[in-house]
Structure 1
Amino acid sequence: MKTSTTYSPEVRERAVCMVREHQDEHDSQWAAISSIAAKIGCTAETLRRWVRQAEKDRGERAGLTTDERERIKALEREVRELRQVNEILRKASAYFAQAELDRRFKP
């Protein structure tokens, strides 16, 4: 079974800063990421994703910023909740409409 470790925002931010600071000391950004990931105890791919997201947040790379991603997630949650409410209201309306019809036609 796969277990995932959650890193605090401070650890993520510090790791990304370390990559930026020590990138010139390595042959490539990936080499810096691999080196630093081993030191902080995460995988290189995890750190690479953090670096890419930080670049998007700073406007250095195309893509959704963290704030935009959170806003989209909140809007999707709201849409899902509204659809559930609408479905409940539709069923309740049909139920009460049928009950009203049954009441009118009974002798």
Structure 2
Amino acid sequence: MSGMTTKSFDAADDQRTPDKTKIEMVDLGTAKAARLTAQPGWKWSECIQPVVGGDSCQAHHVGVIVSGTMHVRHDDGTEGEATPGTAYVIEPGHDAWVVGDEPVVAYEFDSTTASKFASSS
């Protein structure tokens, strides 16, 4: 099967805007991708948890940070940071927050997470 599908995040198929968050999702047919913009002061447990519930983020994240710094703390106490140019996999069971005064812009490529993150459904 040949072909190419392209879409602009600036004309996203779906957009969600929880507190200090903008998520723009594009549906590419066989895959979904999302652009996440998290403002300074953003923290999953304060901005997303009220929308989705639960004790920690249960999404599986696969993506890349374009700008800003994201700190992640897993339920088991392990921690790490993702900075611009960093590709990442973040397993379920974590909290995360923006470090510093620069917004985090990240692109997510796990189709399930891209389509459902920060959604109450």
Between 1 and 2, higher relative CO (CA 8 Å, sep ≥ 6) is seen in: 2
TM-score normalised per structure 1: 0.24
- The structure with the larger Rg is 1
Higher strand proportion: 2
Higher percent of residues as helix: 1
